[in-house]
A and B are shown apart, each in its own frame.
Chain A
Amino acid sequence: MTEPVLSIRDLTVEIPTRHGLFKPVQNVTYDIRPGEIRGVVGESGAGKSMTGNAVIGLLDDPARIASGEIWLKGRRIDNLSVEEQRALRGREIGMIFQDPLTSLNPLFTIGEQLVETIQLHLKVSANEARERALALLDRVSIPDPKTRFDQYPHQFSGGMRQRVVIALALCSEPSVIVADEPTTALDVSIQAQVLDLIKELARETQVGVILVTHDMGVIADTTEQVTVMYNGQVVENGTTDQVLSAPKHEYTKSLISAVPRPQVKLHRFPQVSYGGRETAFKIEDLARNWTKSEPSKSGKLLEVEGITKKFLEKSAILPSWRTYFTAVDEVSFDIKDGEVFGLVGESGSGKSTVARMIGTLLDVDGGRIRFDGDEVTAMTPAEIAGYRAQIQMIFQDPFSSLNPRMKVESIVAEPLLHHKILPPDQISGRVQELLDRVGLTRAAAAKYPHEFSGGQRQRISIARALATQPRFLICDEPTSALDVSIQAQILNILKDLQEHLGLTMLFISHDLPVVRQMCDRVGVMKKGQLVEVQDTETLFANPQQDYTKKLLELMPRLAQLSG
């Protein structure tokens, strides 16, 4: 075995806070060998990124290294002065950040940024730097590097930008690259390309890569070694195959079991029980009080007929001079009573726009939406109010979907009060019942949203959505902002609800394994159009459209995982 290029020994990082000394990283130890990709996986707040930042000397004040050593090519680097660290950073250690949008300077061309970085680290002439920059762009598979060289970051797509960021990281021919969630902001198809590129580069240039991610699929696809972190500590270190197929630590087992399986549909998600995060909840309470909604007249609760949405791209005085961007183009589907209908597609495919039109948050520019036979698109404001009482929505971002200045009790009670569903003296009881139902304690009612974690906030969102006893629930990427174990809990809640209350759901997601677990039928969207609608099982077993096949192929597979 070759010597490690980077060694982290017993690293502890501490942050002094008002509430005492907080240690986000405790006694972390791992090695990177040349050409090796080491995955660092764990939930948010596990200290993965903090370890990476400590290595590159980018700890934000007041965080500091409390103890431990970092060795780079036989030289200890954690005790270097700020000046020496700066010289080291960028030359020996490259960085790839999560968001390619913010890691490039929008005011300079790609070429200028590359040449500047090269000249900063290597003593070469301007012409030579340009040659190198072009070679690098070619190296990261950017087509037509000569033209691209003089373009600005906004002229590049997200995946292309991330390639440029990788090229920037390679400028100084570093021996280690720290990639912090490099593909989290990208679509699945782009993600696969970027990961392939990183793998190829590691193999060819013998650079060691620390790949920080929360995504088990990325780990399985890309890495050779994996470090599992929980609560600031390393709970397991080993080869990827070994950790995924035979995890030793309880936490790793629970983490792996929570990953949605793309291959088979399970009745419920296996729950992560490590760390006592799972909260028991009761279904019966709510089902008893639920005024079972009568089935729709036609058996189809929602019918969408050729709906179209255009957004103004360029404003002008004359209507004929205006240009529009068609976000949703003649989309038609229907959802039967009690069915979970999935909409999948990459970002920008118009999934959320469809959801917002159905939720009457956006006006429809063409086509019809019928709810239980009534045409929503032709309703008067009074009728729309009645329609809104029957539908509810769960939003993607649990941090912006709850009013930060309202107590949880007021948030959940608002729809009850507004629609005058219950007399005021019964409201508090119903709120308690709803909170119980989604697995929150009674004390939660008197708190504000900021006192809850992302998963708990999403539970509050669900409680609010259930308050009006809706017949139809729209879930717009309800778990994409959550950790995998929390995702499993939230999806289980939704599954149970659907089962016990006979809810009809529109479930929007970009995550195919999740869709497979949740949905009865699936529609695939591409650039505003619905390209395929199928039963979930048929779609996953036998996709008809090329685009669907491509999406399915790109789905990260955890071959090592059984059932």
Chain B
Amino acid sequence: MTDHPISTSEVAPTRMRRALDSDLFYAFKRSPVAMVSAVVAAVLILSAIFAPLIAPTNPFDPASLNLMNGFTGPMAPNAFTGETFLLGTDDQGRDVFSTILYGMRISLFVGFAAVLFAVVLGIILGLIAGYFGGWADSFIMRAADVQLTFPSILVAMLIFGVAKGITPVEHRDQMAIWVLILAIGLSDWVQFARVVRGATLVEKGKDYVSAARLIGRKPYAIMLRHILPNILSPVLVIATISLALAIIAEATLSFLGVGAPATQPSLGTLIRVGQGFLFSGEWWILFFPACTLLALALSVNMLGDWLRDALNPRLK
């Protein structure tokens, strides 16, 4: 092996320098799709985070609502009050732009939390299955196989239904979001566990793991300190794509009425509410939340696809 030009320098680069110098960042700068997706996703996520600052009204503050503003079209002045709204209003006079910003917060929060839950669960079970093998492996992987035979949306609905059944009525609306996260996360851990297990099997055979065993490190230390950092790339790729899927899953559940309650509407809830008005001419109540969902899911998904290709040396 010849010395790489970078490695000949005597000074070790800083973390920032490494990141800017990495092949990943280099590939990112050369991919228009990745840059556009990243910008779209960043704008959407930031506007969701800063929704209270950006949104012209707080759509869930009943005091600020004026029923007279109901069914105002986008960019058209209301017949009674003369107010104009960027994306129009719904039947109760809520500003659609504001509800989208607030709805995106719920959607993104549920998506991120559900994927995080699935990733943590999948990594723990996958590492155990891959590293120890034997009956632990058989047990975890058969459980995963069984779960894979059901469509994940069905699993999520089942978990949601059971959880809803056991929570007292007065807490249902508060708990709904958390139950949603649990339901989507539990329906999604299998793919992480499978990928982690496969990568663990490969890494386990490498000599650096033997060296760590020879030092006397305990299995959990080897798994967390040695194996885990080396298998994170594929997990990161799937997590990004899963995020898009989780957002859609949440929207699907909410659309079906088993997700976020009307008091905390997510993009899915907004679409459900909006579709009632589609055929009576108030198309904007459905159209803009649906477009936002599309842009969000698509940009995150494209980023995930790009990440997968960029991290796969065989495609270069």
Contact = CB atoms under 8 A, between A and B. Distances in A.
A44 B1 contact: yes
Tell me the dominant secondary structure on chain B's binding face.
helix
Contact of A452 (B7, B208, B215): B7
A446 B14 CA distance: 9
Nearest to B7: A451
Nearest to A391: B214
Given A19-B5, A385-B216, A361 B210 contact: yes
A447 B10 CA distance: 10
A93 B187 CA distance: 57
Contact of B216 (A388, A402, A445): A388
Contacts of B225: 406
Interface string A397-436: 1001111111000000011001100000000000000000
Nearest to B4: A451
A419 B216 contact: yes
Interface string A426-462: 0000000000000001010111000111100000010
B12 A443 contact: yes
A451 B3 CA distance: 8
Interface in B208-239: 208, 210-217, 225-226, 229-230
B6 interface: yes
A397 B1 CA distance: 13
A314 interface: no
Nearest to B8: A451
Contact of A401 (B10, B208, B213, B230): B208
Given A403-B226, A405-B230, A446 B211 contact: no
Contacts of B213: 361
* Residue among B5, B6, B208 with max Cβ neighbours from chain A (10 Å): B208
A453 B2 CA distance: 7
A402 B6 contact: no
A464 interface: yes
A393 B210 contact: yes
Contact of A388 (B6, B26, B215): B215
Interface string B53-86: 0000000000000000000000000000000000
B215 A402 contact: no
A498 B49 CA distance: 62
Interface residues of B, number: 26
Contacts of A359: 210, 214
B206 interface: yes
B36 to A, nearest CB: 23
B12 A414 contact: no
A451 B7 CA distance: 5
A345 to B, nearest CB: 20
Please tell me the size bucket of the interface on A.
35 or more
Given A395-B207, A395-B210, A400-B206, A447 B1 contact: no
Contact of B10 (A395, A441, A464): A441
A45 interface: yes
A18 interface: yes
Given A44-B1, A400-B207, A392 B216 contact: no
Contacts of A400: 206-208
A286 interface: no
A508 B11 CA distance: 36
Interface in A85-141: none
A402 B208 contact: yes
Contacts of A360: 214
B208 A447 contact: no
Chain A at the B interface: SS class: loop
A142 interface: no
Given A414-B215, A419-B216, A443-B12, A451 B6 contact: yes
A415 B215 contact: yes
A393 B210 CA distance: 9
Nearest to B226: A403
Contacts of A464: 211
A388 B216 CA distance: 6
Nearest to B230: A405
Contact of A447 (B7, B26, B226, B230): B7
Given A397-B207, A400-B208, A405-B230, A418 B214 contact: no
A18 B26 contact: yes
Contact of A443 (B2, B10, B211, B215): B10
Contacts of B4: 451
A446 B230 CA distance: 19
A389 interface: yes
B37 to A, nearest CB: 23
Contacts of A393: 210-211, 214
Nearest to A446: B12
A44 B212 CA distance: 29
A454 B1 contact: yes
Contacts of A385: 216
Contacts of A389: 216
Interface in B1-38: 1-7, 10-12, 26
A395 B210 CA distance: 9
A361 B217 CA distance: 12
Contacts of A452: 7
Contacts of B229: 403, 405-406
A395 B211 contact: yes
Contacts of A453: 1-3, 7
B215 A418 contact: yes
B217 A418 contact: yes
A45 B230 contact: no
A447 B12 contact: yes
Nearest to A416: B215
Interface in B121-169: none
Nearest to A361: B210
A401 B211 contact: yes
Nearest to B208: A403
Nearest to A448: B18
Contacts of A414: 212, 215, 217
A45 B214 contact: no
Contacts of A419: 215-216
Contacts of B211: 393, 395, 401-402, 461, 464
B305 to A, nearest CB: 23
Interface string A494-534: 00000000000000000000000000000000000000000
13 contacts: A19-B5, A45-B1, A361-B214, A395-B210, A401-B207, A402-B208, A405-B230, A406-B226, A418-B215, A419-B216, A451-B4, A464-B211, A468-B215
Interface of A: 18-19, 44-45, 356, 359-361, 385, 388-389, 391-393, 395-397, 400-406, 414-415, 418-419, 441, 443, 445-447, 451-454, 461, 464, 468
Given A359-B210, A401-B210, A419-B216, 19 more contacts: A45-B1, A356-B210, A361-B210, A361-B213, A392-B214, A393-B210, A393-B211, A395-B210, A397-B207, A400-B207, A401-B207, A401-B208, A401-B211, A406-B225, A419-B215, A445-B12, A451-B7, A452-B7, A454-B1
Interface of B: 1-7, 10-12, 26, 206-208, 210-217, 225-226, 229-230
Closest 3 CB pairs of A and B: A446-B12, A401-B207, A405-B229
